[in-house]
Structure 1
Amino acid sequence: MEISCKSEYAILALIEMASHYQSGEPMQIRQIAAQQNIPDRYLEQLLATLRRGGIIKSQRGSKGGYFLAREPKKITIFEILECLEGLDVQTTQIDINPRTVDSGVIAEIWQEACQAANSVFQKYSLQDLCEKRDSRRQLDIMYYI
C-alpha cells in the first residue's frame, strides 16, 4: 500500500492549518503552499475537495483563506483519506465466489491488511501528527546543539 501524492499533499496542508488552529486566523493558499512546498494550483484543487468534504471551511475577503472545520484532534487521518480517495477499504468486497482457493486466500489476507491499515488511520488525528512532528523537530534541535 502506498499513500498517493494527492493525500500526502492534503495531509501536509492540513497539518499546517492544524498548527495555526489556535490563532483562529484563516490561512491563504500561497502561505500553506510555501510552508509545505506544494504547487499552488494543485493545493487549490485539494482544498476545494476538503471543503466539500466538510474537513475545512473557507472565508472570503482580503483576510480570507482556509481553516479547519473542527478541532485537529477531531479530524482523523481515515476521514481525510476517505474524503480525498473516495473509498472505504473496510467495505471492499471479498470475492464470494473466488475463481480458485488460492485467490480466495489472497482476497481474505488483503481484506485483513486493509482493515488493519484503516484501524491505524482511524486511531490518529491531525493533532497526533502535529505532536509527532513537533517532538521530532525538538529531537533535531537537540541533536545539533
Structure 2
Amino acid sequence: MPDNYEDIINLPYPRNDWNFLIKHPRMSIENRAKIFAPFAALRGHSDAIAETAEKKLTIRQEELMEDSRIELDEALAALSERLQRGEHPTIRVSYFVQDKILAAGVGTYREIEGLAAKLDLNTATLQIVDTKIPLNDIQWIKFA
C-alpha cells in the first residue's frame, strides 16, 4: 500500500519560515484551552433531564414516628453540645426536599454527609458545609 504522505513526510516544520509565522501566528495557551473547553449546546438541558428524573421519584413527606422523633431529638441535642464545645463533627443527614412545582408535602429525600457547621434554633436550620436544612425536614442524623 503506497504511503499517502510521501511527498510531505520529510519536509521541515515551517517554524523558521517568517512568512508562515506572520500568516499563522502561534496561539497562546489560554486560547488553546478555550478551544477544548466543555461546551453545552443546549443550556439547561442536563438540569432539565435531572429534574425530570427526580420528579419520577417524588413521594409524599413521611411523618416521623414517635421513637424516630425521640432519636432525632437526642441526636440534635448531642450535636448542639458538640458544636457549643467548638467541635464540628462529620454527620450524615437524610432530609426531605419539597418539589417546587408539585403540591405541598411532595418531593424527594436526599442524604448529605459533611462537617456540621451550625445548628441555628432561631431559624430552625442545620447547616452542613454550605447546605442549610430546615429541622422539620430532617428524617435522621448519624454521626460518622
Fold match, TM over 0.5?
no
TM-score bracket relative to the smaller structure = under 0.3
Higher strand share: 2
Query: Structure 1 length normalisation: TM-score?
Result: 0.20
Which one has the largest radius of gyration? 2
Q: Which has the higher contact order (CA 8 A, sep 6+)?
A: 1
